[in-house]
Structure 1
Amino acid sequence: MLHSLRLPHLLSCALFGLFAGGVQAGTPSPAPDSLLPLLVTINERLNIADLVALTKWDSGKPIQDTPRETQLIDNARKKAEGQKLNPDEVAELIAAQIEANKLVQYGLLAQWRAADKAPDTPRPDLINQIRPQLDELQHRLLQQYADFVPYRNDPNCPNWLGTERASLIKDQLHGQALIRATGELCVTAQ
């Protein structure tokens, strides 16, 4: 008799545990604290692209600057080793930042050419003001990326990224660039 009373109780406990576990498994985990600061830094770097575009408009210099891009990627590879990061992954991250930055520059220059004028705003010096800012941002970006690396393979990573990224988009051009800049942050099976 005792055994027959315990069986329904055990079954109900087992079912409760199964349902509770199912609810917990269906609830996505919150984004790690390291994601938003990384995205803010990436976005800050993209906003500086506006200033770079202004200097390119004024100087007539091409957007493509292969020696500078190579230097940035090589420096990032060296720093990656010191931070125990995969140099190839860091090179991909920095290359994505460069491509996203150029996307903004090409888009703005096309808009300004269509309007036959660029915004009438102060132009900082590319070499002495903008590049040091970009170098500092790259240093910060690598530190923040190192903090985020343990979460890159989490199955929730694309959802975290989409949610956090959406709050930073200011217009279509910068939104597309931010998507490009963060395209390889998550490494999940498709």
Structure 2
Amino acid sequence: MRRTLLLTATLFSSAAFAAPPATLAPLLDSVQQRLDIAPKVALTKWDNHKPVLDAPRERDVIAGAGKLAAEYKVDGALAEQFFAAQIEANKLVQYGLLTQWNAKGAAPDTPRVDLAKEIRPQLDVLQKQLLERLAAFAPSRADPQCPRWVASAIEARKADALQRTALVRATGELCASPS
């Protein structure tokens, strides 16, 4: 009887804390790659005295994701919501860095890259990769363990406080809300 209870408890505890799907890590890797571009964008905006907010570009990116979604078998509304979150997370990093640089009175002395010629093409490639990986992860979005998987995966990553907060924002709506 004791063995049966132990086996039952083990089965329930392993089911309650199931391992994340293999599709989560690649999706988070792509989200992180997009966030890693934020400092370059912030430097460009610092150098050119441009605001972080670029509403027309944001609308174009979100609409573009919605249009490409069907090609990747992703719901258009989900793709738009997901990319809106990516943009908000990216802006969070930019605002955080600009605040740090303003407090110091200078941005880091690192090589600059052209926003239109170098950064945006990288973001366009990542958009397709993110859609592909979002499609692969989509069946797991409704799993009750999804929020735990995402939170644990974020906590396991080596990131500073700003990057961690941005990852949380970027994945905030990744899991489907219970109906």
Fold-level similarity (TM above 0.5): yes
Residue 26 in structure 1 maps to residue 13 in structure 2: yes
Q: For structure 2, which runs of at least 5 residues remain unmatched after alignment?
A: none
Residue 63 in structure 1 maps to residue 59 in structure 2: no
Residue 143 in structure 1 maps to residue 132 in structure 2: yes
CA distance in 1, matches of 2:104, 2:36: 21
RMSD: 1.8
Equivalence map 1:38-117=2 (5 Å)? 38-117=27-106
Deviation at 1:19, TM superposition (A): 5.3
CA distance in 2, matches of 1:188, 1:65: 29
Residue 184 in structure 1 maps to residue 156 in structure 2: no
Deviation at 1:167, TM superposition (A): 2.6
Q: For structure 1, which runs of at least 5 residues remain unmatched after alignment?
A: 1-11
- Report the identity percentage: 48
The answer as to whether partners of 1:169 and 1:178 remain within 8 angstroms in 2 is no
Q: Does the residue aligned with 1:46 lie in a helix, a strand or coil?
A: helix
TM-score in terms of structure 2 length: 0.93
Deviation at 1:163, TM superposition (A): 1.5
Q: What amino acid maps onto 1:81 in structure 2?
A: A
TM-score in terms of structure 1 length: 0.88
Deviation at 1:174, TM superposition (A): 1.1
Runs of 4+ with >4 A deviation: none
Higher CA-based Rg? 1
CA distance in 2, matches of 1:167, 1:57: 31
CA distance in 1, matches of 2:72, 2:34: 21
CA distance in 2, matches of 1:140, 1:99: 18
The answer as to whether partners of 1:42 and 1:181 remain within 8 angstroms in 2 is yes
The answer as to whether partners of 1:96 and 1:182 remain within 8 angstroms in 2 is yes
Q: How many aligned residue pairs are there?
A: 177
CA distance in 2, matches of 1:94, 1:125: 22
